[in-house]
Amino acid sequence: MLSNFRRDPVPATFDHSDCTPQEDEEWQEGHECSDELLHAALDRVEQLERTAKAAEREHGELRRRLARLERQLGALLAARTEQRDDLAGVEHSDHQDIARRFRTLIEQRFQNFARRYADKSVHTMDRPERERVTRLISLLSTQVFTDAIPLSPGIRRELGLPEEGGHIEQAIANVRRDGCDLAERIHRAGLSHRWDFEHRAGVPLDPARQEAWPSCDSQAPVRFVISPAYVVNGVVYCPQYVYTGELDG
């Protein structure tokens, strides 16, 4: 590390025996100035190293918190189905893992995509700001969680997003790939599954198959589905995320 460099003054190697007193004084002033600049630079390096170490600690803490949340979610999803005896043990465990991955996909990849592009979609830009992100997640969910996932250009058109040089389609392609990977895992796990988008707007949510989006009031009526429920052999492994609130007048 640069911070380990010694800070002894830089030795004078310039032979100034033939200099005039004025020249010698100017040389000394320049030499002292160089020392000050070097020490200031080393101080700055040490400060940056401390900042980097603090950021590394914060990053590690965030990763640990995310791991804890994933474990808690897994325990919650397992609790919803542990009393059921109509699924085989291995398949049961596989679908629990798929449900966790599905929920993480919605909360991270889908939400990040929607935050980036919600203001560009013709289907969401005129909606109230607080619901634009969830509206785009809802539209994206209907495209990805289906028996036949459309290609990226088709998804972009259904989302009402512009081309913008192709970078939006690339972002969609990344999300689509995650959806295809999840579909492949579901196929390998076996058993009959379905994505449940069915809901009734204007009524209280059904806690057996629906959950309010974190920023919504769980006591308010359902307005629309943000992401579907993941259902295997009639068992809800992951409930719907729903947006709640009073219906538009």
Count the neighbouring beta carbons within 10 Å of the beta carbon of residue 231: 19
- Please provide the size of the chain in residues: 249
Q: What are the φ and ψ backbone dihedral angles of 223, each rounded to 5 degrees? A: -110, -50
- Taking the model in full, what pTM does it have? 0.65
CA atoms within 13 A on the CB side of 208: 2
User: Per-domain residue ranges for the chain?
Assistant: 19-83, 87-244
If one compares 72 and 95, the residue with the highest pLDDT of the two is: 95
> What local confidence, expressed as pLDDT, does residue 3 receive?
45
Instruction: Encode 105-127: b = buried (16+ Cβ within 10 Å), e = exposed.
Output: bbbebbbebbeebbeebebbeeb
Residues 73 and 100 sit within 8 Å (Cβ to Cβ): yes
> What local confidence, expressed as pLDDT, does residue 46 receive?
82
Spatial distance between the Cα atoms of 56 and 41, rounded to a whole number of angstroms: 22
CA atoms within 13 A on the CB side of 126: 3
Partners of 232 in beta bridges: 193, 235
Bridge-based pairing of strands 235-238 and 229-232 is antiparallel
Instruction: Taking residues 74-96, report their average pLDDT.
Output: 64
Spatial distance between the Cα atoms of 138 and 247, rounded to a whole number of angstroms: 17
> What local confidence, expressed as pLDDT, does residue 33 receive?
66
Spatial distance between the Cα atoms of 139 and 33, rounded to a whole number of angstroms: 63
Spatial distance between the Cα atoms of 243 and 218, rounded to a whole number of angstroms: 9
246 Cα distance to chain centroid: 28
Q: What residue has token string 């790939």? A: 177
Cβ within 8 Å of residue 101, ≥6 positions away: 182, 185
List pLDDT tens digits, range 179-200.
Answer: 999 999 999 988 889 999 999 9
List pLDDT tens digits, range 43-57.
Answer: 888 888 888 887 777
Q: What residue has token string 């308010």? A: 220
List pLDDT tens digits, range 137-163.
Answer: 999 999 999 988 999 999 999 999 998
Spatial distance between the Cα atoms of 242 and 230, rounded to a whole number of angstroms: 14
pLDDT of residue 122 exceeding 60, the answer is yes
Q: Could you tell me the pLDDT band of residue 115, with boundaries at 50, 70 and 90?
A: very high
Measure the CA dihedral 83/86/88/91, to 10°. -80
Residues 218 and 233 sit within 8 Å (Cβ to Cβ): no
